Amino acid sequence: MTMKTDILNRLKYSLGKDAENASTYDWRIALSLVLRDQMVETWFRSTRETYAASPKRVYYLSMEFLIGRLIEDMIANLRMEDTVKTAIAELGQDYDTIVHDEPDAALGNGGLGRLAACFMDSLATLGIPAFGYGIRYEHGLFEQSFAQGQQVEKPETWLTQRHAWEFERPEARYRIGFGGHVEHRDGSARWHPGEVVMATAHDTPVVGWNGDWGNTLRLWSAEPSKDFDLESFNRGDYLAAGRSEALARTISRVLYPDDTTESGKELRLKQEYFFTAASIMDLLRRYLADHDDIRDLPDYVAIQLNDTHPAIAGPELVRILVDEHGLPMDEAIPLTRRCLAYTNHTLLPEALERWSEHLMGRTLPRHLEIIRAIEHAHQTEFPDSPRILDHGDVRMGELAFIMAHKVNGVSALHTELVKQTVFADLHRIHPDRIINQTNGITPRRWLYGCNPSLRHLITDAIGEGWVTDLEQLTALKDKRDDAAFIDAFMASKRENKVNLSNWIGQTMGVALDPDAMFDVQIKRIHEYKRQLMNLLETVALWNEMRDNPNADWTPRIKIFGGKAAPGYFVAKDIIRLINDVAQVINADPVTGDRLKIVYPPNYNVTMAERLIPAADLSEQISTAGKEASGTGNMKFALNGALTIGTLDGANVEIRDHVGTENFFLFGLTAQEVMERRTHHGYSRAAIEASPRLQRVLGQIAEGRFAPQDPSRYHGLVGMLYDHDYFLVTCDFDSYFDTQRRADMVYQTPENWAAMALVNTASMGWFSSDRTIKGYAHDIWGAKSVLSA
Ligand code: F58
């Protein structure tokens, strides 16, 4: 049958619609179901091959999977682009309209969640048998809009539409207990939970490149253990009957919108245990279906903890081994450790999870006992070990570390800092445990999918092998002196910039000059990421353009994107200031087209796919030592943007790969940052030494950008003077000067393009395929099952 008939059949039999009455939504779902059918073939074959080979399986436990839209990913990986486009055109429909109808699955906050999504793509492409386990949030990350420049949050509602990719698995249901008490008898323990919630699986097939292999993303949703509280219902108390149901569902209702700050809420702990426990039961059931001896578990199961959110996996697995399989504690703990590994994503002290012992004891009484046993065993062996239980808290980082056989950081610098700071004492005791696995990004989504013009150019030049072997891009280095190729490379970038300009024109009503430098900073809004420094530099540039309007300025479009955690007031002030400044600058006839600020609301994966291919300059300007890795930095460089950045996270390695001459470096190093903080009054001194910065801060403080409310930013400016913890003031001058250096280079477009090409050509190492091979080899001991 043809694709066209397949789609029409799905429209008719799965949606009950005929072509005349079908909406865009109907066409999209029909197409998605046809694609899903295709994936099922791969998926079944992979499952059969896995059972036959009985290999070690990887289980990636993550609170977040920021997968975005799936339709174009599926079309690309199944190599069906031409077939689908032809069929859709024959059906009289518009391909772009249909693919843009899909809502983003925003089941994550930022880098950590997106990394998990890239890893799923690479695991499938490499043919490593794996499951991603997470939560099927009813509401993903909130939708952001701006009202008078201020962030407004609205609930996200992706699941009000049918999620065409998933299969509900009513047969994979587990009882998850909370609270209650522990009964100790004859040396054994039995947990009697006081409350039970059901976890139901929803599977999304994840198919790798060429449809060669398929894994599963299994997301759990919470349901009441009985459909209804029948007793209350029969008493006529309908509200009470509904209440227990609602309470259970709350667990998978919303994604916590806090990025890098922990809220310490009971519901969050319940979410963490809920999905971790369901995942452990599920993987044990799979293991026990064809293995008899639980002691062989580490030979078949590798569990990766994406940060500490699933760290309760340690005590949970020990609990099952001891209480249900009768293993002694001193055997269960090392056995569990051989299965577990933990990835650390942050050094920010406020983001390190800790739960009060009281809350832990109330919510998971048996787990608290086991944590004490783990603590005791570790202290006995290493009396000077740092403690898991500390000042009435359970420290999840220490727990995860002690229960993991490997702990990894996400960039070379970050891993060194993990060794020197957060886990310095544990590192001394276990010097081989911490290793590095520098993050990566999937080239399928972040070049092949999002940048068709560059994809075609590259494939025409070097063939298509780069899609699964990104190091092949090095061959492009030979083209840096090839004038015709450089022209084509520039034309591709320009095409992307024109597309973006059209979109911004339509959605925001701002006209952009596609020949201006597109300078982009997109990421969560956070003080350490220093969007504020970028904005201050913009105002300083504006001042200088106005002082000297006839100079040969390089035109710039400053593009911002990102959400602030709803309770993070400083970040929200920064958003408001960006929007206030944009109003003034964008209306200024003196600077006109030479300087504009745009901040499209509701930044998400789909918006990143639009912005990144159109960027000339990538802003990676965090305070050194604070950004664990960054992955946006990799996406930009791969798509031919130059980076302006500090020596932080993976910037360091990107700069090593692309060459120092193709990277705009500025700012203090991590060591210098730590040292500078010891100087009394360092920020005031930096401001006093910089007339340019003084002028900008003066303008903001006197209400130049908020004339109706001139004191609006007194708090923000005062903070820079008195406790500029992230050293915006100290790095400002060197940042400004480096921006002017970038301006200069941009004046000679062929030079800029040659540098950008070297960036693209040098990014092969940053493929998440390389990262996953590293995890598979160094941590999991897992192999590809793909028959060559
Ligand atoms: C990010 N962390 C790091 N956390 O900030 C970034 O440098 C790194 O590239 C990325 O992980 C991947 O390794 C991050 O995104 C979160 O969003 C957490 C969500 C849950 C609460 C705590 C923060």
- Counting ligand 1 atoms within 8 A of each CB, the residue from 267, 345, 413 with the most, and so the one to mutate, is 345
Tell me: do 625 and 756 sit in the same domain. yes
Question: What contacts 728, CB < 8 A, 6 or more positions away?
Answer: 530, 532, 533, 536, 683, 720
Query: How close is the Cα of 689 to the center of ligand 1, in Å?
Result: 35
Distance between CA atoms of residues 368 and 312, nearest Å: 10
Tell me: do 500 and 363 sit in the same domain. no
Question: Which pairs with CB-CB distance under 8 Å and at least 24 residues apart come from 82-88?
Answer: 83/3, 84/3, 84/31, 84/35, 86/3, 87/2, 87/3, 87/4, 87/7, 88/7, 88/27, 88/31
User: Which ligand 1 atom sits nearest the alpha carbon of residue 630?
Assistant: 9
Query: How close is the Cα of 345 to the center of ligand 1, in Å?
Result: 6
CA distances from 661 to 642, 647, 739, 759 (A): 11, 14, 15, 11
- Counting ligand 1 atoms within 8 A of each CB, the residue from 60, 62, 63, 112 with the most, and so the one to mutate, is 112
**Burial class of residue 292, CB neighbours in 10 A (0-12, 13-18, 19+):** exposed
CA distances from 23 to 27, 93, 166 (A): 6, 10, 21
pLDDT of residue 235: 79
Reduce the secondary structure of 488-501 to three states and give it as a string. Answer: HHHHHHHHHHHHHH
Asked if the structure places residue 548 within a domain, the reply is yes
* 633 ligand 1 Cβ < 6 A: no
* 410 ligand 1 Cβ < 6 A: yes
pLDDT of residue 241: 72
pLDDT of residue 236: 78
Distance between CA atoms of residues 775 and 453, nearest Å: 32
* 417 ligand 1 Cβ < 6 A: no
Q: What is the pLDDT of residues 61-98, one digit of tens each?
A: 999 999 999 999 999 999 999 999 999 999 999 999 99
620-626-628 Cα angle (round to 5): 80
* 651 ligand 1 Cβ < 6 A: no
For ligand 1, atom 17, the nearest C-alpha belongs to 259
pLDDT of residue 245: 80
Query: How close is the Cα of 308 to the center of ligand 1, in Å?
Result: 11
Question: What contacts 15, CB < 8 A, 6 or more positions away?
Answer: 22, 26, 29, 30
Distance between CA atoms of residues 320 and 104, nearest Å: 37
Asked if the structure places residue 462 within a domain, the reply is no
User: Which ligand 1 atom sits nearest the alpha carbon of residue 343?
Assistant: 13
> Taking Cα atoms as reference points, which of 126, 84, 17 lies closest to residue 770?
126
User: Which ligand 1 atom sits nearest the alpha carbon of residue 631?
Assistant: 9
- Counting ligand 1 atoms within 8 A of each CB, the residue from 60, 259, 305 with the most, and so the one to mutate, is 259
Contact 396, 355 (CB under 8 A): yes
Distance between CA atoms of residues 455 and 516, nearest Å: 23
Q: Token match 């004339």: residue?
A: 707
Q: Phi and psi of 18, rounded to 5°?
A: -105, 165
Please count the other Cβ atoms lying within 10 Å of the Cβ belonging to residue 378. 22
Distance between CA atoms of residues 171 and 491, nearest Å: 53
Q: Which residues of the chain have pLDDT under 50?
A: none
DSSP assignment of 199-249: EEEEEEEEE-GGG--EEEEEEEEEEESSSS-HHHHHTT-HHHHHHHHHHHH
DSSP-derived secondary structure letter, 63: S
* 260 ligand 1 Cβ < 6 A: yes
Distance between CA atoms of residues 787 and 380, nearest Å: 47
pLDDT of residue 230: 67
* 111 ligand 1 Cβ < 6 A: yes
Q: And the tokens for 566? A: 């709803």
> Taking Cα atoms as reference points, which of 588, 576, 596, 558 lies closest to residue 706?
576
Contact 313, 276 (CB under 8 A): yes
Tell me: do 720 and 776 sit in the same domain. no
Are β-strands 181-185 and 143-147 bridged in parallel, bridged antiparallel, or unpaired? unpaired
Question: What contacts 378, CB < 8 A, 6 or more positions away?
Answer: 385, 388, 402
Tell me: do 415 and 502 sit in the same domain. no
* 565 ligand 1 Cβ < 6 A: no
Tell me: do 430 and 507 sit in the same domain. no
- Max CA pair span of the chain: 89
Question: What contacts 244, CB < 8 A, 6 or more positions away?
Answer: 224, 229, 232
Query: How close is the Cα of 88 to the center of ligand 1, in Å?
Result: 39
* 662 ligand 1 Cβ < 6 A: no
Query: How close is the Cα of 43 to the center of ligand 1, in Å?
Result: 30
649-655-657 Cα angle (round to 5): 115
* 352 ligand 1 Cβ < 6 A: no
Contact 423, 388 (CB under 8 A): no
Question: What contacts 667, CB < 8 A, 6 or more positions away?
Answer: 621, 624, 646, 647, 731, 734, 735
611-613-614 Cα angle (round to 5): 65
3-state helix, strand, coil in the chain (%, to 5): 55, 15, 30
Tell me: do 435 and 540 sit in the same domain. no
Question: What contacts 1, CB < 8 A, 6 or more positions away?
Answer: 9
Distance between CA atoms of residues 419 and 29, nearest Å: 49
Tell me: do 288 and 329 sit in the same domain. yes
Asked if the structure places residue 320 within a domain, the reply is yes
Tell me: do 539 and 434 sit in the same domain. no
pLDDT of residue 62: 98
* 529 ligand 1 Cβ < 6 A: no
Tell me: do 723 and 776 sit in the same domain. no
CATH number at residue 264: 3.40.50.2000
363-109-647 Cα angle (round to 5): 115
Asked if the structure places residue 461 within a domain, the reply is no
User: Which ligand 1 atom sits nearest the alpha carbon of residue 351?
Assistant: 22
User: So which residues are the catalytic ones?
Assistant: 345, 523-524, 529, 631, 635
Query: What's at 767, amino acid-wise?
Result: S
pLDDT of residue 263: 63
> Taking Cα atoms as reference points, which of 567, 488, 575, 663 lies closest to residue 263?
567
Contact 441, 658 (CB under 8 A): no
Asked if the structure places residue 457 within a domain, the reply is no
> Taking Cα atoms as reference points, which of 360, 417, 351, 376 lies closest to residue 647?
417
* 109 ligand 1 Cβ < 6 A: yes
Asked if the structure places residue 218 within a domain, the reply is yes
Contact 735, 607 (CB under 8 A): no
Asked if the structure places residue 736 within a domain, the reply is yes
Query: How close is the Cα of 437 to the center of ligand 1, in Å?
Result: 15
Angle, helices 81-90/3-13, rounded to nearest 10 degrees: 60
Distance between CA atoms of residues 73 and 36, nearest Å: 12
* 628 ligand 1 Cβ < 6 A: yes
Query: How close is the Cα of 351 to the center of ligand 1, in Å?
Result: 9
Tell me: do 202 and 108 sit in the same domain. yes
Contact 367, 316 (CB under 8 A): yes
Query: How close is the Cα of 122 to the center of ligand 1, in Å?
Result: 19
Tell me: do 556 and 658 sit in the same domain. yes
User: Which ligand 1 atom sits nearest the alpha carbon of residue 309?
Assistant: 20
Reduce the secondary structure of 259-279 to three states and give it as a string. Answer: CCCCCCCHHHHHHHHHHHHHH
Tell me: do 537 and 561 sit in the same domain. yes
Distance between CA atoms of residues 338 and 342, nearest Å: 12
**Burial class of residue 734, CB neighbours in 10 A (0-12, 13-18, 19+):** middle
What domain count does the chain have? Answer: 2
Q: Show the domain range for 525.
A: 494-766
Reduce the secondary structure of 756-768 to three states and give it as a string. Answer: HHHHHHCCHHHEH
pLDDT of residue 350: 84
Query: How close is the Cα of 628 to the center of ligand 1, in Å?
Result: 8
Q: And the tokens for 331? A: 């055997």
pTM: 0.98
Please count the other Cβ atoms lying within 10 Å of the Cβ belonging to residue 652. 21
Task: Tell me the Cα Rg of the chain.
Answer: 27
Asked if the structure places residue 470 within a domain, the reply is no
DSSP assignment of 589-635: TTTGGGEEEE--SS--HHHHHHHGGG-SEEEE-PPTT--S--SHHHH
Which helix H or strand E contains 540, and what residues bound it?
helix 531-547
* 649 ligand 1 Cβ < 6 A: yes
Contact 35, 74 (CB under 8 A): yes
Buried b (16+ CB within 10 A) or exposed e, 43-63: beebeebbeeeebbbbbbbbb
